[in-house]
Amino acid sequence: MKTASSFLELEERRRLVPVWFEGGELQLPEGSNLAAAMLAAGVGTFRYTPVSGAPRAPFCMMGACFDCLVDVDGVTRQACMLEVTEGLRLSMPRKGRNVIDADN
């Protein structure tokens, strides 16, 4: 999964490791902030809201807004409060998608 990112990543020597988001593989710098790394890798939408199904992405980057929620091993967590580790399996929180499915 490689998409054009609207963000520039200043070069830093870090090992890239595979991380899966919604089944697609991302190569992210190990130990870096997960939300920042996902943005730099071109992930535009992190989740869909449970209320209206609107797309969301990181807003505050400091653990306050809860817009960057992702599911990690079945637990919904804030991507901006996590670090990249090899083999992370991430998905959009289920609750949002179920609502969208029900609406469709």
Partner 1 sequence: MQITDLVIIGAGPAGMAAAATAANVGLHVILLDEQPRPGGQIYRDVDRVAPVRGEMLGKDYTDGLSLTAGLDHGNITHISGAVVWAIEEGIRVLYTADGRGGAIEAKRILIATGALERPMPLPGWTLPGVMTAGAAQILLKQSGVLSKNAVLVGSGPLLYLIASQMIRAGTSPLALVETQTQADLLRALPHLGGALRGWRYLLKGLTMLSEIRRAGVRRYTSATNILIEGETAAEDIRFTADGKTRHIPCDTVLLHHGVVPNTQAARSIDVAHHWDARQHCFVPNLDDWGGTNVETVHIAGDGAGIGGAKVAALAGRLAALKMAADLGAISTIERDDTAKPIRRSIAQELAVRPFLDKAFPPAIEATKPVDATIICRCEEITAGDIRRHAGIGCAGPNQAKAFSRAGMGPCQGRYCGLTVSNLLAEANSATMDETGYYRIRPPLKPVTLGELAEMGGSVNSATN
Q: Can you give the binding site for partner 1, defined by CB under 8 A?
A: 6-12, 32-33, 36-37, 39-40, 44-46, 49, 51-52, 54-67, 69, 75, 81, 83
Closest separation between CB of residue 20 and partner 1, Å?
20
Minimum gap (Å) between residue 36 Cβ and partner 1: 4
- Minimum CB distance to partner 1 smaller for 74 or for 87: 74
Q: CA-to-CA distance for 53 and 39, rounded, in angstroms?
A: 20
- How is residue 34 written in tokens? 């997960």
Phi, psi dihedrals of residue 90, rounded to the nearest 5°: -115, 145
Structure tokens at 58: 């990181």
Check residue 80 and report its DSSP letter: G
Minimal distance in Å, beta carbon 11 to partner 1?
8
